Amino acid sequence: MLNNKQLNLNLASHPLGNRKLFYWSFVGLGIVFFILIFLSLNLFVSYKNKSDTIKASIRNLEQSLQEVKAKEKQYRTRLESITKDYEEIVDEVNQIIYRKSFSWIDFLSSLEKSLPDSSYIISLVPTFNEDLTMNVRFKVVSRKLDDLLTLINNLEALKFKQIKVLNESRNEQGELLSEVSLSYERII
């Protein structure tokens, strides 16, 4: 037997009969809405916690950076103080090393090359400068004035600098006694 009941597809003509459908539709949408809200809140809280952790880490890094800068400034000040304390000692040690490494053979052979055959040196006083130069005063005995002029020309040719004749006199044998000063730059 067939059921005589007709299927009425016009839902608008009997709105109260469709209440269950609307009820369950609203309940389903409400559940989906609450699930989305729950997931959104969970995601928000998760990212908020991560953000707070990152902000705390950044604050710690900034504090550490400030401490490092303060220590760097402290070390820099201390280093400058130590540098000032030992600067004289270091300069003195450098002067000693310079004097020890000075090539006297080169200097004396150059000075000997510049002397004419008839002249000779009777005294020599070197003075080292802070740079790579040495001031030298020496007394030379020459037979005549031309020998002294030859010596000066030879010194200039051998790259000696600031050559000056300080004084001249005659000794008992009639030879010319001259005091000469010059500057010698060390070749490294």
CA distances from 183 to 42, 100, 125, 131 (A): 87, 19, 12, 12
**Within a domain: 42:** yes
CATH for 124: 3.30.980.50
User: Both 108 and 96 in a single domain?
Assistant: no
Q: What is the pLDDT of residues 139-186, one digit of tens each?
A: 999 888 888 888 889 988 887 888 888 888 888 888 888 899 998 876
Split at pLDDT 50, 70, 90, the class of 2 is: low
Taking the C-alpha atoms of residue 105 and residue 111, their distance in angstroms, rounded to an integer, is: 10
In a shared domain, residues 160 and 106: yes
Here the tokens at position 41 are 């809140």
Residue-range definition of the domain harbouring residue 146: 102-185
In this predicted structure, the answer to whether residue 129 has a pLDDT above a threshold of 80 is no
For residues 117-145, average pLDDT: 85
pLDDT at 36 over 80: yes
